[in-house]
Chains A and B, each alone.
Chain A
Amino acid sequence: MIEGAWKQAAEAWQKEWEQQAARWWDATLREPLTLEGMRKALEGVCAAKERSDQALEQLWALYRLPTATDVERLHERLGDLEDGLARLQATVEALAERLPAKAKAEPKA
């Protein structure tokens, strides 16, 4: 019986503690100071990535290997080419639809 009461009290205490902590976290995560810290941390991560990419690109260039930027540029050009082909295909399909109708309207003499 006493053990049950202790257990209940401990559970109630934990619940109360969790609620208090959740409220504290929620307020803290909205604080401009926290948000500024988040921005700085993200910019730090970006700076580290930029530096490591730069070092890798230099190494790649040393061995005359294409870098990620080179491949991305190539990919962009391929994308443009694909768009152009899709537009051409749409134009040809539209023309093909019109042609039989025109041929029927103007039978050969």
Chain B
Amino acid sequence: MKTLTRLKHVGQGLARAVELVDGATPHTVAWRSGPVTVRRYAPETRATDVPLVFVMPFINRFRVVDLEPGTSLVGRLVARGLEVFVVDWGAPRRIDAGIDFEDHVLRYLPRALAATGAAQVDMLGLCLGGTLSTIFAATHPERVRRLATLVAPVSFADMDLLGLWTDPRWFPVERLTAAFGNMPGPLVNQGFLWQKPMTQLTKLQKAWPRFDDPAFAEFFCLLESWTSDGVDVPGAAYRRLINDLYRGDRLAKGELVLRRGDRALKVDLGAIRCPVFVASATDDLICPPPAATALLDLVSTPAAQKTHVSVKGGHIAPLVGPKARASLQDPLADYLLS
């Protein structure tokens, strides 16, 4: 009998995952170009005039920040009165293989900001979206009032297994992107899953008794369906990520250069003087805490305007899971509204 109940809850969870494939919070499309979409989430009553631009990582679907009504990070920020514009990089096709950091930072993000209609915005970034937000804030400091990053790597000096696996001796990134155009999402995903193979092997066995709880079964299905639904990464951006960041640690060293035509723009994190909020997770293997907190040492922001929140757990669940409201979502909203 218990088995049937659990299977029923899993079935309901999977159906919910299909239903919420475009996120749980109502929104409109503010701007779209190629694979990139800017989604606008309007609050009933605005608590601030400054819109929040929330930049997603370009290796995942955006819906992780809006998985279900009860735990949605975007939903919570909107409920607190913030107007949120989510920059969703979408699923690139082969023709988008040339999209690089320059396109993200100098082409798409300025247009996303234009879609808000505001001269200055608050900027929030998740994972590599936080890395892009940081690069944007460093190159357009006058456009960003506050910067907040969630489990976003800035220093790639010690990335443990991911650092080892992307070493030029073992990882043929040039050949992979030349052959596939874009880096296939399932291959990128394997890199994350193999960091802890035992966790992957025993995950379902450990979750099984907890499927008695329909809320847990739903959240499990939503998170797993998102995890296994990775997107391809534009080849040029992926090469840049591996060569300049994982192998060269150029952002933290102040050596990252963006090029547009004849222009060369050096990314100097010291140009960031606005208030900065950094969230890291204690057991994060994708963005180890020092990789995220390095930002606080590299910006010119006064010490009193630097905020660090450490949450317990891995890369994603502590930000969007059932306990996230108290540990992260509300402190983040308080910071953005302070």
Contacts and interface: CB of A to CB of B under 8 A. Distances in A.
Contact of A71 (B95, B165, B175): B95
A49 B180 contact: yes
Interface string B157-201: 000010011010111100110111100000100000010111100
B121 to A, nearest CB: 21
Contact of A29 (B161, B178, B199): B161
Q: Is the interface of A mostly helix, strand, loop or mixed?
A: helix
A83 B194 contact: no
A106 interface: no
Contact of B176 (A21, A35, A42, A68): A42
Interface stretch (A2-10, A55-63, A72-80, A97-105): A72-80
Contact of B164 (A35, A36, A46, A79): A35
Nearest to B198: A22
A60 to B, nearest CB: 14
A53 B179 contact: yes
- Most chain A beta-carbon contacts within 10 A, residue among B98, B169, B170, B196: B170
A21 B172 contact: no
Interface residues of A, number: 25
B261 A87 contact: yes
Contact of A38 (B165, B180, B202, B261): B165
Contacts of B46: none
Given A21-B198, A83-B261, A30 B95 contact: no
A86 to B, nearest CB: 8
B95 A79 contact: no
Nearest to A39: B170
Interface in B17-66: none
A11 to B, nearest CB: 11
Interface residues of B, number: 27
B140 interface: no
A76 B178 CA distance: 15
Contacts of A53: 179
B216 to A, nearest CB: 20
Contact of A18 (B167, B171, B202): B202
A16 interface: no
Contacts of B261: 83, 87
A87 B263 CA distance: 12
Interface string B91-104: 00011011000000
Given A29-B161, A38-B165, A87-B261, A18 B198 contact: yes
24 contacts: A18-B202, A30-B161, A30-B164, A35-B165, A35-B169, A35-B170, A38-B170, A39-B169, A39-B170, A39-B171, A42-B171, A43-B175, A45-B176, A46-B178, A49-B180, A68-B181, A71-B95, A72-B95, A72-B181, A76-B98, A79-B98, A83-B260, A83-B261, A87-B261
Interface of B: 94-95, 97-98, 161, 164-165, 167, 169-172, 175-176, 178-181, 187, 194, 196-199, 202, 260-261
Q: 5 closest pairs, A vs B, by CB?
A: A46-B179, A22-B198, A35-B170, A49-B179, A39-B170
Interface of A: 18, 21-22, 25, 29-30, 35-36, 38-39, 42-43, 45-46, 49-50, 53, 68, 71-72, 75-76, 79, 83, 87
